[in-house]
Amino acid sequence: MTSEPVPPPRIPPADQLTGIPRNRKASPRSGRSAASSRIAVDPGDAATIASAAAGVIATIVGAYFGLKIGSDQTKTASENQKVEAAKAQVFAAHLPPDEAKDILGLANEAAKKVLGK
């Protein structure tokens, strides 16, 4: 029992698969290639897509700068607080020892008022 060889499958040319002729050149009037000339886009659809993309991009950029500015302000406030704490320590180091206890009490009261306690 002999079997006949099976021929390989026939693969059609690319222009038959896509419907676009292989050697078709760009239209001299439009300057577009054959593939792009086959995609029809309604101008209203293009405007909708462009405005939606611009809205997404603007939202992302706005969120980035909002977070960046907020973190920069937090960093600046923290640095300013450290500067004021250093100044307060220098002032406290130069207090007369007999008045230090009273002034420390006043400082604690002022701190509680600032914190709302």
Average pLDDT across each block of 10 residues of the chain; the chain has 117 residues. List them in order: 76 65 54 51 78 93 93 91 88 84 87 83
At 60, which amino acid appears?
Answer: I
Domain boundaries, the chain: 30-115
Helix spans in 1-117 (H)? 14-18, 34-37, 43-93, 100-115
What is the predicted pLDDT for the residue at 79?
Answer: 92
